[in-house]
């Protein structure tokens, strides 16, 4: 098949909770469409899509994967995404490139936490939704119970367009209630038959319910069915379904077993018939608040929704073409950098396998290798005049300090970390100049584990995590004064500096230096040296080696020598005087305080609030919305630096939060003693 026209493309992202069978479904779709001769299996470790070494080891997806296929003359770009919360960035990337989100739901466990989160995200991003109830051949699979759970959770716009024939080990196919036929897979082909008598009543009942749900999409057909009582034929029902799905009035539910491929070919038929083409999604929002139509006309433009690294090809940019036609001869401008990127090859990608293609039209997905300066989220266009709206990636909330395992790894690690962060926008890399640590932040502990494994396997840089140093501060609680005197005579010119300093608490005022010298007790040219000596000592700290803050320092007396006094002598004297005064000024340790906005279902609010209290936190306020509690709280940052897995455990994965460090407060005495002792031990061992 050559390049399809835009109306012959369907972009479908598979989303849902981890373990629902998304990758198995994508493998089944590829196999039934004839793309693969062998049905890929995650469990048996020969998946075409979960090919990364970590995916093979964990037997679950950690990356977005493309699975393009052709069915009945229509190109379907299947986008498989991970279901684990730490990898929601890839699900967001997939949603940004698709017109339809197919939610894969396990027929035993039903919709779960990540299903809820992604359901909300798809709605916010304007992506149409459909449901596939998978694994109907499992023990305890229950189609009716799963449908009830879906309706209870997401409303009554959901309706079945297929129902299963049998359940558990007796599941043997599906009934299409639009076409009123049964479908079951035998060997390498699908058999279409009349509906068995035992399922006729349930099929007719399901069709009536479906018709009622979609009738409001067309006034004339609604009047015919509801008021005149006339049944709708297949063509009329298909027209209604197309309108209702496009308008968001109706959310179709399909049934299948990916492992036995029952229902898969009929699902592909339904995707071709009912899922929206790229132009039906509406215009694509731009960063300046405008929009661009998806159209084959005009200059080429595209956005990068994912970047992957191939050990042989190098960097691969996965792009959604919005306008024009992308060809290997294209020269594009990156709107972020303003630089030109020359397209050498345009590829189609299935799992890790790539094939050159001659052209990719608007609405379709392409893969571009070796774009040197292009990152995830960038816009590429012929004239550089457009920037598409950035994807709504969450902020990374789980920081770890990372270091090379050996000296040999140090040089490689810096380059590897930068490459890793360029590919994954939900990872952030910071060099903390205060703590002298390299900090890698992600969405959770699993994502960080995967990142470290990739550093080793992909870039041959062995790294390890170490304790994250908390940026404590020191200050004083009372006024004190002391003399700083520096005198050194070694033959020839000596060194002499003498100053008296007074230290006062300055809460919230930062550092202030006051010159109170009168009568020339210290010459004017040496006063800045006193100030500098004080500031250098404050940076190094006195109590535990942490920077000192909120102190007013006055130099009010001193003496000098006409020959031996110098800037360095007075700077040294100031350091001596400051330390001596600080030791008499009731020094205390301050810790950073984090403000958290936590959202959990009502049933977990009590546990979360109790936990906050146990971590020395305080509740600032609460409000509720639609069965969820919003808790506004403040806690010591040291207690919540790794709050992500903690909240996940407390709320069974249903909670979310944002965090912001705002201000400092005094550390309680017993805890301060431990921090000071630990800091002392670190200094002695370094």
Give the residue from 585, 614, 635 where a domain finishes. Answer: 585
Residues 170 and 109 in one domain: yes
Give the position of tokens 């050990």: 311
Burial 100-110 (b: 16+ CB within 10 A, else e): bbbbbbbbbbb
Tell me the C-alpha distance between 103 and 421, whole Å.
29
Q: Where are the beta strands (DSSP E) in 166-277?
A: 173-176, 181-186, 189-193, 251-255
Q: Which residue has the tokens 């989220």?
A: 377
- CATH number at 653 reads 3.30.70.240
Tally of CB atoms within 10 A around 384: 18
The answer to whether residue 82 sits within a structural domain is: yes
What radius of gyration, in Å, describes the C-alpha atoms of the chain? 32
User: Do residues 579 and 457 both lie within one domain?
Assistant: no
What total of structural domains would you count in the chain?
5
Residue 198 lies in a domain: no
SS3 per residue for 416-433: HHHHHHHHCCCCEEEEEC
Q: Evaluate whether residue 52 is within a structural domain.
A: yes
Which of 525, 554, 585 corresponds to the end of one domain?
Answer: 585
Q: Are 42 and 28 in contact (CB under 8 A)?
A: no
Q: In the listed set 466, 486, 513, which residue is the last one of a domain according to the structure?
A: 466
Full domain range(s) for residue 491: 474-585
Q: Tell me if 447 is assigned to some domain.
A: yes
What pLDDT is attached to residue 2? 63
Q: Show the 3-state SS of 154-168.
A: HCCCEEECEEEECCH
Residues 417 and 542 in one domain: no
The answer to whether the beta carbons of residues 407 and 386 sit under 8 Å apart is no
CA distance 660 to 683: 29
**pTM, 2 dp:** 0.90
Closest CA to 250 of 215, 222, 205: 215
Residue 610 and residue 552 in one domain: no
334: domain CATH number is: 2.40.30.10
**Same domain as 410, residue 461:** yes
Indicate whether 225 belongs to any domain: no
Please give the DSSP secondary-structure letter assigned to residue 456.
Answer: H
Residue 295 and residue 417 in one domain:
no
The encoded tokens of residue 131 equal 């449901």
Same domain as 416, residue 488: no
Specify if 440 maps to a domain. Answer: yes
The CATH number of the domain where 423 resides is what? 3.30.70.870
Same domain, 342 and 479: no
Same domain? For 276 and 137 the reply is yes
Residue whose C-alpha is closest to residue 119's, from 107, 106, 130: 130
Element at 221 (helix H, strand E) = helix 219-222
Retrieve residue 594's tokens.
């984090």
- Do 22 and 101 have their domain in common? yes
Instruction: Note whether residue 218 is domain-resident.
Output: no
pLDDT tens digit string along 61-113?
989 999 999 999 999 999 999 999 999 999 999 999 999 999 999 999 999 99
Q: Are residues 268 and 326 in the same domain?
A: no
* pLDDT score recorded for residue 228: 67
- 8 Å CB contact between 446 and 491: no
Do 444 and 418 lie in one domain? The reply is yes
Q: Residue 39 maps to which CATH number?
A: 3.40.50.300
Q: Is residue 479 part of a domain?
A: yes
| CA–CA gap between residue 313 and residue 359 (Å, rounded) | 20
Predicted local confidence at residue 233, as pLDDT: 80
Please identify every stretch of the chain with a pLDDT value under 50, giving residue numbers as ranges. none
């Amino acid at each position: 098949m050559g390049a399809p026209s835009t109306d012959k493309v369907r972009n479908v992202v598979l989303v849902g909770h981890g373990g629902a069978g998304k990758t198995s479904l994508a493998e089944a779709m590829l196999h039934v469409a004839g793309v693969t001769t062998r049905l890929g299996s995650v469990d048996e470790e020969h998946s075409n899509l979960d090919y990364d070494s970590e995916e093979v080891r964990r037997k679950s997806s950690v990356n977005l994967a493309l699975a393009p296929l052709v069915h009945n003359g229509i190109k379907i770009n299947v986008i498989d995404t991970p279901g684990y919360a730490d990898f929601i960035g890839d699900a967001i990337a997939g949603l940004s490139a698709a017109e339809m989100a197919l939610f894969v739901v396990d027929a035993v466990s039903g919709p779960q936490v990540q299903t809820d989160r992604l359901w909300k995200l798809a709605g916010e991003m304007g992506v149409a939704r459909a449901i596939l109830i998978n694994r109907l051949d499992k023990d305890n699979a229950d189609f009716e119970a799963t449908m009830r759970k879906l309706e209870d959770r997401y409303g009554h716009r959901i309706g079945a367009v297929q129902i299963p024939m049998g359940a558990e080990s007796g599941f043997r196919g599906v009934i299409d209630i639009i076409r009123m036929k049964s479908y079951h897979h035998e060997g390498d082909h699908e058999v279409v038959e009349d509906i068995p008598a035992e399922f006729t009543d349930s099929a007719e009942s399901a069709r009536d319910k479906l018709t009622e749900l979609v009738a409001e999409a067309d006034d004339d057909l609604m009047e015919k069915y509801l008021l005149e009582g006339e049944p709708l034929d297949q063509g009329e029902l298909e027209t209604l379904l197309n309108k209702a799905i496009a308008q968001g009035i109706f959310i179709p539910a399909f049934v299948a077993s990916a492992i036995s491929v029952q229902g898969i070919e009929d699902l592909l038929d339904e995707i071709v018939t009912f899922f929206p083409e790229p132009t039906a999604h509406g215009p694509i929002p731009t960063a300046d608040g405008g929009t661009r139509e998806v159209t084959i006309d005009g200059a080429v433009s595209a956005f990068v929704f994912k970047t992957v690294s191939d050990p042989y090809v190098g960097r691969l940019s996965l792009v959604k073409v919005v306008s024009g036609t992308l060809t290997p001869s294209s020269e594009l401008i990156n709107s972020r950098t303003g630089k030109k990127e020359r397209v050498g090859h345009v590829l189609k990608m299935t799992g890790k396998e790539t094939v050159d293609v001659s052209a990719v039209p608007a609405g379709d997905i392409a893969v571009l290798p070796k774009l040197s300066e292009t990152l995830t989220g960038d816009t590429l266009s012929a004239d550089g005049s457009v920037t598409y709206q950035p994807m709504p990636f969450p902020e990374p909330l789980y920081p770890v300090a990372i270091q090379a395992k050996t000296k040999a790894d140090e040089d490689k690690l810096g380059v590897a970390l930068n490459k890793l962060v360029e590919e994954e926008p939900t990872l952030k890399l910071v060099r903390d100049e205060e703590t002298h640590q390299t900090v890698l932040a992600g969405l959770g502990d699993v994502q960080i584990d995967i990142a470290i494994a990739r550093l080793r396997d992909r870039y041959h840089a062995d790294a390890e995590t170490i304790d994250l140093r908390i940026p404590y501060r020191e200050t004083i609680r009372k006024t004190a004064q002391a003399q700083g005197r520096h005198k050194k005579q070694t033959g020839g010119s000596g060194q002499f500096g003498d100053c008296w300093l007074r230290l006062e608490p300055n809460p919230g005022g930062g550092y202030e230096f006051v010159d109170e010298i009168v009568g020339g007790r210290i010459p004017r040219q040496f006063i800045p040296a006193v100030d500098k000596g004080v500031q250098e000592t404050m940076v190094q700290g006195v109590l535990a080696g942490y920077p000192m803050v909120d102190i007013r320092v006055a130099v009010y007396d001193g003496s000098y020598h006409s020959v031996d006094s110098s800037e360095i002598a007075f700077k040294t004297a100031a350091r001596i005087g400051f330390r001596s005064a600080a030791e008499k000024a009731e020094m205390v340790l301050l810790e950073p305080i984090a403000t958290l906005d936590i959202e959990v279902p009502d049933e977990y609010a009590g546990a979360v609030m109790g936990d906050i209290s146990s971590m020395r936190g305080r509740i600032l306020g609460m409000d509720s919305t639609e069965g969820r509690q919003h808790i506004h709280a403040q806690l010591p940052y040291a207690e919540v630096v790794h709050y992500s897995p903690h909240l996940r455990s407390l709320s069974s994965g249903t909670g979310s939060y944002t965090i912001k460090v705002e201000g400092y407060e005094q550390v309680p005495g017993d805890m301060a003693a431990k921090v000071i002792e630990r800091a002392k031990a670190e200094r002695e061992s370094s």
